[in-house]
Amino acid sequence: MTQAPEIKVARLVLSLEQAMPLTSDVGITVTGMPAIESASIRSVVRSLENYRLRLPLHLPVADGHGIRRFKGREFVDVAPGEIVQVRQDATTGEYRATLPVESTASGPTLVLDPRTMLWGAEQMSIPGEIDNVMSARPHPDLTDHKPSMATEAAIEPGRLYEGRDDVFERRASRTVEIVARGISQFGPQHSAILRAELSATHRIFSDAGNGLAANYVEAGSIFQGYFGKHHALVRAQLADCLSRGEALSTEYQGPWGQDKFVGVKFDQDRRAWMYSIDFHGRFFISLNHLEEGNFAAVLGHEMLHTNRINRFKSVGPGALDFFYLDARMGNALDRPVPVYDIPERGVSEAIMQGGMTVAYLEGFTSDHSSFTNGVRDGLGLSGKLDVQAAVDLFNVIPSLRTWMASRNADSIIYAAKSMQALHQARTADSQLLIGLLES
């Protein structure tokens, strides 16, 4: 999941007063930033010229993701004493600078530098050198995205873990105890399970991609179950997601990926989670759930949330969590749930037929902003939607359901599992036929 859930034309520079109405009981006085600024600040925020605001004294402090929220609007710090209003793209999960008069953000994509908790334009916000690598003598190749074959053997376990005690670790530590940083610090049994599940995750994406390329007749019904009757419109997007997932699962098994797994001692509700704005691309793994099985799909789900990850060449698809697929909540849907070997397929099929309910969403979380924002952005609406209105729109507009499902992490990973099962079955049939012909 992208955010770790609770326990389950030139424009004038605008002031914050212009950005949103202020009631008389909020004592905030704001002005636009002056035209003259230091070269160091200007080099970071030059592309944000039309979006800059001076930080009001009483604006709420930033949360663990570096976001300040006030009256339904979101702001991020781009320099000391300076903020920019942002809007999250429901498709990619990225934050973009926006003006208050816009229903869709027009500014550049911004990313957080977790070391300073300042945001900057994507192309210049992340430094080339990461200075918190746990190594007394950095390897000469550490500035590359990936080591050469000649240097892979020289990389020692535990040297590459990045982000110790950063904002993401601190946020996780509020509710869980971190006991392992990197697979090498997991216990032998858990380490073996995690490595095996990582390999299984790779096979899910690889087999599903091969099955998609084979164009099996049965694939149409699988895709319709996960993406609705307009599934043909998102086939290319799905193929891209599978390709990215396969590449990512390879890199997570490589030397740069070994230390991107953080073990936590116990979590009642979460099997694994990650923070989509964590540039280190770490997965927090609940050790008490690791032996339950089916962890490959969990890892695949989390990989689909990623975007750019330091030291990786691959870039994730940035999928979101609009809704989850869980057969245990199937009775809360407004449609019968068909039974399949992969039960999530039946749940998805009921949802894609227009069977979503508020009760189903409530079974996972009380925060429905991801779902409502997805409906709003998918339809190009402005303003907020209450959850019932969003569910009603979702159920009556098939193309909206397809659009959201094609960007939904659970829909993608379980569609991949169903395609893997089909591909493996067809491959086994082919091998049996060849054996019979040769005998």
Rounded-to-integer distance, Cα 231 and Cα 102, Å: 31
Looking at residue 271, its pLDDT comes to 94
Looking at residue 433, its pLDDT comes to 54
Looking at residue 133, its pLDDT comes to 33
Torsion of CA 381, 383, 386, 391, to 10 degrees: 10
> 82 - beta bridge partners?
54, 79
Looking at residue 102, its pLDDT comes to 74
Rounded-to-integer distance, Cα 157 and Cα 182, Å: 8
In CATH terms, 157-305 corresponds, of 3.30.160, 3.30.1050, 3.40.390, 2.60.120, to 3.40.390
**What are the residue ranges of helices labelled H in 215-335?**
219-227, 235-253, 295-305
Looking at residue 191, its pLDDT comes to 95
Give, for all 439 residues of the chain, the pLDDT tens digit: 555 544 333 333 344 444 443 333 333 334 344 433 333 333 333 467 778 888 887 888 888 788 998 888 899 998 888 899 999 877 667 888 888 777 778 888 888 887 788 888 764 333 333 333 333 233 333 333 344 333 343 445 446 788 898 999 999 999 999 999 999 999 999 999 999 999 999 999 999 999 999 989 999 999 999 999 999 999 999 999 999 999 999 999 998 999 999 999 999 889 999 998 899 999 999 999 998 878 999 999 999 999 999 999 999 999 999 999 999 999 999 999 999 999 999 999 999 999 999 999 999 999 999 999 999 999 998 888 999 999 999 999 999 999 999 999 999 999 999 999 999 998 875 555 555 555 5
Cβ atoms of 16 and 53 within 8 Å: the answer is: yes
Instruction: Give every strand in the sheet of 178-181, ordered side by side.
Output: 178-181, 261-264, 283-286, 272-273
Locate the domains of the chain by residue range.
16-125, 157-305
DSSP string of 52-113? EEEPPTTSPPP-TTSEEEETTEEEEEEETTEEEEEEE-TTT--EEE--TT-SS--S-EEEEE
Looking at residue 427, its pLDDT comes to 84
Residue type, 221: S
C-alpha distances in Å from residue 321, one per residue of 125, 339, 374, 395, 419: 26, 23, 9, 17, 21
Reduced to 3 states (helix: H, G, I; strand: E, B; else coil), residue 320 is strand
Which H or E run includes 391?
A: helix 387-396
Cβ atoms of 209 and 240 within 8 Å: the answer is: no
Rounded-to-integer distance, Cα 306 and Cα 247, Å: 12
Around Cβ 49, how many Cβ atoms within 10 Å? 14
Cα-Cα-Cα-Cα dihedral sign, residues 90, 94, 100, 103? negative
The length of the chain, given as a count of residues: 439
User: What DSSP state is assigned to residue 355?
Assistant: I
For the record, the structure tokens of 147 come out as 């080591």
For the record, the structure tokens of 337 come out as 């749930």
